[in-house]
Amino acid sequence: MMDQVIALSLAVLVVFLVGCLAGYGLRRLMPSNRRAEMPVVEAAPFTVETAMPSQPRPANVSLPITQPDDAGQVRLLPFALAQPRGGQADNLKQINGIGAKLESRLHEAGIFHFDQLAGLTKKTADELDAHLSLAGRVQREEWIKQAKQLAKRPARSTHKPT
């Protein structure tokens, strides 16, 4: 049985190789200017239809509507400040995980001091996390714990102007 399979496989291989050699020989015998004889056909213009709508659909997201306070400032978070106390913000970049860009986003959200971050509860930390789209970084990177340690330090934590 196995001898028959091997013989059949060898026969198929021989036929394949003979066909390849015959094709190669015939191709060499044909004139090379055959391509020049082929007519050039111009393609007709076409349009592509996409599945994209002409106008974007509204997102399925509900955003909280905020009201300005007495001073006309919009306060999005209950623990946010309109400006830093004493006109000087803490250097929030001392917290691992907060860089210059994130510090400016925290300032825009009204977070200027370590004690603000240190005083966050799980609920308010989740609010801040959702407000800044941080995907759980406040809890995961332990900002509250770090802020509590930094809030205990004396005035070294002030932000140096750049």
Report pLDDT for 8.
95
Report pLDDT for 78.
73
**Any idea where the domains of the chain sit in the sequence?**
2-28, 85-157
* One pLDDT digit (tens) per residue for the chain, 162 residues: 889 999 999 999 999 999 999 999 888 887 666 555 667 777 777 776 666 666 666 655 444 444 455 555 444 577 788 888 888 889 999 999 899 999 988 888 888 988 888 888 888 888 888 888 888 888 898 888 998 988 887 755 445 444
Report pLDDT for 43.
75
- Buried/exposed 34-60: b ≥16 CB within 10 Å, e otherwise: eeeeeeeeeeeeeeeeeeeeeeeeeee
Report pLDDT for 4.
93
User: First and final CA of the chain: distance in angstroms?
Assistant: 86
CA distance 77 to 61: 19
CA distance 159 to 86: 12
Question: Is residue 24 packed enough to be buried (19+ CB in 10 Å), middle (13-18) or exposed (0-12)?
Answer: exposed
CA distance 78 to 127: 10
pTM for the whole structure: 0.49
DSSP conformation class of 142: T
Give the per-residue SS3 of 59-87: CCCCCCCCCECCCCCECCCCCCCCCCHHH
Report pLDDT for 162.
46
The sign of the torsion formed by the CA atoms of 56, 58, 60, 61 equals positive
Helix (H, G, I), strand (E, B) or coil at 117: helix
